[in-house]
Chain A
Amino acid sequence: EIVLTQSPPTLSLSPGERATLSCRASQSVSNYLAWYQHKPGQAPRLLIYDASYRATGIPARFSGSGSGTDFTLTISSLEPEDFAVYYCQQRSNWPPLTFGGGTKVEIK
């Protein structure tokens, strides 16, 4: 099973600041990595798939990069609605599909 480790667990930032979230895989997942945003009481939302492709309707301030074992989600300028928990997920050689433990982006 591929283990995904996200860092930091919590990121305290102000609106307008840049957010950089990390996801590290226990073995190479090529570019088979996605990012999701999850707010309490809501359905998770797909942001990025195949490491760098924005999903339909996702604003350009969200970008993904990386390959192999190290990946980054960048939010270029935080909007008030971006404060949430973010999860990475891999689909390399599944089952199982696995998620990282999440990074909470909170208002400073």
Chain B
Amino acid sequence: QVQLVESGGGVVQPGRSLRLSCAASGFTFSTYGIHWVRQAPGKGLEWVAFISHDGSNKHYADSVKGRFTISRDNSKNTLDLQMNSLRAEDTAVYYCAKDHPGISGWFDYWGQGTLVTVSS
């Protein structure tokens, strides 16, 4: 069955960096676009970033553009999110989510999430 498992969350000071990872299994990873979506405490869902199946196409929310970088390794079935210059408003649970078959932009499977807390 499809599994997405995030890791790498934790407590980090403002201005510092953190790298999240997402390990995928149960589907042909190299044929699907993958997204990062986050949820701040007490808030709704916010799309963060997207990478196409082969890594050639990437998109970012304005709130993270220039600070976050999405990447993938299809040989290892892993997705990463490098987060630099972290701010208090980046505090959230971060989910990786897989594109629906044939339709980029719908999230048909999600991981359980990893919590990032930006605080001094």
Give A residues with C-beta under 8 Å from B.
Answer: 32, 34, 36, 38, 42-46, 49-50, 55-56, 87, 89, 91, 94-102
Q: How far is the CA of A94 from the CA of B109 in the complex (A)?
A: 20
Residues of A close to B113: CB separation below 8 A: 43
Q: Which of B5-61 contact A (CB under 8 A)?
A: 35, 37, 44-47, 50, 59-61
Q: How far is the CA of A43 from the CA of B62 in the complex (A)?
A: 24
Instruction: Determine whether the beta carbon of A44 is less than 8 Å from that of B59.
Output: no
Residues of A close to B95: CB separation below 8 A: 43-44
**A-B contact list, 26 entries, CB within 8 Å:** A34-B107, A36-B107, A42-B112, A43-B95, A44-B37, A44-B45, A46-B100, A46-B108, A49-B103, A50-B103, A55-B100, A89-B45, A89-B106, A89-B107, A91-B104, A91-B105, A94-B59, A95-B59, A95-B61, A96-B47, A96-B62, A97-B50, A97-B105, A98-B47, A99-B46, A102-B44
Q: How many A-B residue pairs have CB under 8 A?
A: 65
Q: How far is the CA of A44 from the CA of B106 in the complex (A)?
A: 12
Instruction: Determine whether the beta carbon of A87 is less than 8 Å from that of B45.
Output: yes
**Could you tell me the distance in whole angstroms from the C-beta of B113 to the nearest C-beta in chain A?**
7
Q: Which of B72-108 contact A (CB under 8 A)?
A: 95, 97, 100, 103-108
The one of A32, A45, A95, A98 in contact with B50, judged by C-beta atoms closer than 8 angstroms, is: A95
**Could you tell me the distance in whole angstroms from the C-beta of A29 to the nearest C-beta in chain B?**
11
Residues of B close to A98: CB separation below 8 A: 47
Q: How far is the CA of A45 from the CA of B35 in the complex (A)?
A: 15
The one of A43, A50, A97 in contact with B110, judged by C-beta atoms closer than 8 angstroms, is: A43
**Could you tell me the distance in whole angstroms from the C-beta of A22 to the nearest C-beta in chain B?**
15
Q: How far is the CA of A34 from the CA of B110 in the complex (A)?
A: 15
**Could you tell me the distance in whole angstroms from the C-beta of A10 to the nearest C-beta in chain B?**
13
Q: How far is the CA of A99 from the CA of B97 in the complex (A)?
A: 14
Instruction: Determine whether the beta carbon of A101 is less than 8 Å from that of B44.
Output: yes
Residues of A close to B45: CB separation below 8 A: 36, 38, 44, 87, 89, 99, 102
Residues of A close to B37: CB separation below 8 A: 44
The one of B35, B44, B104, B106 in contact with A100, judged by C-beta atoms closer than 8 angstroms, is: B44
Residues of B close to A32: CB separation below 8 A: 105
